[in-house]
Structure 1
Amino acid sequence: MKLTFLSLTLFFCTLGSIFPQAIQAQTMVQKQAVPPATEDSIRFSLLTCGAGEEIYSLFGHTAIRYENFTRGIDAVFNYGIFSFNTPNFILRFTLGETDYQLGVTSYKQFAYEYTWTGRDVWQQTLNLNAEEKKKLLALLEENYLPQNRIYRYNFFYDNCATRPRDQIERAVQGTLEYADDMTSFQTGISFRDIVHQYTIGHSWARFGIDLCLGSQADKDITRRQMMFAPFYLKDFLAKAQLKNIPQGMERPLVSSEDHIIQSPQQTSTEEAPSPLQTAFLLFTIVTIATAYGIYRRKSLWLLDLLLFLAAGVAGCILAFLASFSQHPAVSPNYLLFLFHPLHLLCLPWMIKRVRKKEKSIYMWANITVLTFFILLWGIIPQEFNLAVLPLALSLWIRSASNLYLTYIRK
Structure 2
Amino acid sequence: MNKKLLLLFCILASFSGFSQHSPITENTKVSILTVDVADESHTLYGHTALRIQDPVTHFDAIYNYGMFDFRTENFILKFVKGDLQYYAASYPYADFEYSYQVENRSVYEQVLNISLAEKQEIYEKLHTSMYSDERFYTYKFIDRNCTTKVIDVVNSVLKGKPIKNTLHKTESYRNVLFPYANHHYYMQLGINIIFGERVDHQAETLFLPLDLMNVLKNTSYKNKPLVTQTTTNFKANRTEAFSFLDSIYSLIAVLLVVILLNKKATNVLYFSLLGSIGLLFSMIGMYSYHRELLWNYNVLLFNPLFLPLAFFILRNNTKWIKKICWASLFLLGGYLIYMFSKVHLIIVLPLIIATGIQLARLLLKKDR
TM tier relative to shorter chain: 0.7 to 0.9
Counterparts of 1:120 and 1:406 in 2: how far apart (Å)?
61
From 325, 340, 343, the equivalent of 2:303 is 340
1:313 aligned onto 2:276: yes
Aligned-partner SS, 1:257: strand
Give yes or no for contact 2:49–2:65 (8 Å, CA) kept in 1: yes
What RMSD over aligned residues (CA atoms) do the two structures have, in Å?
Answer: 2.4
Alignment of 1:67-216 (within 5 A): 67-172=53-158, 174-177=159-162, 187-216=169-198
Q: CA deviation at 1:190?
A: 1.3
Aligned in 2, Cα 1:162/1:401: closer, same or farther, shift over 3 Å?
A: same
The partner residue of 2:229 within 247, 256, 266 is 256
1:362-391 per-residue CA deviation (whole Å, 9 max, x = no partner) reads 433334432552466243475544342322
Q: How do residues 295-306 of structure 1 correspond to structure 2 at under 5 angstroms?
A: 300-306=263-269
Residue from 325, 331, 343 that aligns with 1:366: 325
Shift of residue 319, structure 1, vs aligned partner: 0.9
After the TM superposition, which residues 320-399 of structure 1 pair with which residues of structure 2 at under 5 Å, given as runs?
320-345=283-308, 347-353=310-316, 358-374=317-333, 377-380=336-339, 382-399=342-359
Question: SS at 2:318's partner residue?
Answer: coil
Percent identical: 25
Greater shift in the superposed pair: 132-141 or 278-287: 278-287
Q: Contact 1:176–1:242 (CA<8 Å) still a contact in 2? A: no
**Cα distance between partner residues in 2 of 1:170 and 1:63:** 16
In 2, distance between residues paired with 1:275 and 1:366?
29
Deviations 1:47-72 (A, max 9, x none): 10111221110111110011132321
Q: Does 1:235 align with 2:214?
A: yes
- Which portions of structure 1, spanning 4 or more consecutive aligned residues, are displaced by more than 3 angstroms? 24-29, 176-182, 378-385
* Secondary structure, counterpart of 1:59 in structure 2: coil
- Which deviates further from its counterpart, 109-118 or 326-335? 326-335
The answer to whether the 8 A contact 2:325-2:360 is kept is no
Q: How many residues align?
A: 354
Q: Report if the CA contact (8 A) 1:367-1:396 is conserved.
A: no
- Cα distance, 1:120 vs structure 2: 0.8
Q: Output the CA distance in 2 between the equivalents of 1:194 and 1:63.
A: 21
Report the AA paired with residue 139 of structure 2: Y
Deviation at 1:167, TM superposition (A): 0.4
Whether the 8 Å CA contact 1:212–1:321 is kept in 2: the answer is: no
8 Å Cα contact 2:301-2:335 kept in structure 1: no
Return the structure number with greater helix share.
2
CA offsets 1:150-177 (integer angstroms, 9 cap, x no match): 11001111100110111011112x3244
Matched to 2:194, the amino acid is: C
Alignment of 1:255-274 (within 5 A): 255-264=228-237, 266-274=238-246
Q: CA separation in 2, counterparts of 1:280 and 1:120?
A: 35
Unaligned runs of 5+ in 2: 1-13
Aligned to 2:26: 39
More deviation in 269-278 or 198-207? 269-278
